[in-house]
Structure 1
């Protein structure tokens, strides 16, 4: 039988080994950021959603800066009790050591009940920049494919 002391020592050893491992490849780091934003949207956490958005963000579709993007997000969250985004065909392309793009399709739904009352399908192109070791969303452009508001 393993004692609590042995379990703690084993856990400490595993954490030490994990701490020595190489950081995740850039593509995985960017994907993790995108997935965290997706979760934050579904959980109604605008601050967490905006965390990876760079201070000099540019939303080309509606000519948004970071502040305007945050206000748009808040408006949508107040308008819909639930917001969800299903992302498909995610393609991440690292351009150089500190620039990358990620493109995907997003099916965004909103409503207050079990069945969403609004939905739209978008084609999304994003630009990412490595800032102090973190990949930050620098730009976004989205084009409606289908759906209604």
Structure 2
């Protein structure tokens, strides 16, 4: 009888652990990797699925000027302009909000390149800062600013 209780408790504990959401740093890094791959693959929908419906973004001087539809249009323009797109995200830091464990800030350096052939014709490094929210079982980007 005692053995059955121990096994039941172990199964219950493992089930609860499987239902937990990933730690912010792990979940957000995974989402960043997915976004990076979607941009390289020219997959607009793959990027947008990681944005909240009320997403706001923009460069430092126009922060918040871009909504989710605007992000879609910006990506479409970039995808039309360049056949090959390179994305490298480095120096990622994630800082969960102390007062709300379902939100976190991230900072990173992003290098974007665009080319018609194999050699990039254009490229630029950006410092980006994003606010992530845990919604519908995934970390989604709610705000993004870059310089």
Q: TM-score, normalised by structure 2?
A: 0.80
Q: Retained in 1: the 8 A contact 2:55–2:142?
A: yes
Corresponding residue for residue 64 of structure 1? 66
Structure 1 pair 18–74 and aligned structure 2 pair: CA distance change class (3 A) = farther
- Partner SS, residue 97 of structure 1: strand
Q: What CA deviation, in whole Å up to 9, does each residue of 1:76-104 have, x standing for no partner?
A: 00000011111110001111321101100
Q: 5+ residue gaps in structure 1?
A: 1-16, 144-149
Listed as ranges, the matches of 1:1-149 within 5 Å are: 21=18, 22-61=20-59, 62=62, 63-95=65-97, 96-143=100-147
Q: Retained in 1: the 8 A contact 2:24–2:94?
A: no
Write the distance in 1 (CA, Å) between the matches of 2:15 and 2:32: 23
Write the distance in 2 (CA, Å) between the matches of 1:132 and 1:45: 21
Corresponding residue for residue 7 of structure 2? none
Write the distance in 1 (CA, Å) between the matches of 2:77 and 2:134: 29
Write the distance in 2 (CA, Å) between the matches of 1:18 and 1:70: 38
Q: What CA deviation, in whole Å up to 9, does each residue of 1:7-63 have, x standing for no partner?
A: xxxxxxxxxx89963543221011100100000111111111111111100014241
Structure 1 pair 65–23 and aligned structure 2 pair: CA distance change class (3 A) = closer
**Total equivalences in the alignment:** 127
Write the distance in 2 (CA, Å) between the matches of 1:142 and 1:23: 28
Say what the alpha-carbon RMSD is for the aligned residues: 1.8
Write the distance in 2 (CA, Å) between the matches of 1:115 and 1:51: 30
Q: TM-score, normalised by structure 1?
A: 0.79
Structure 1 pair 25–114 and aligned structure 2 pair: CA distance change class (3 A) = same
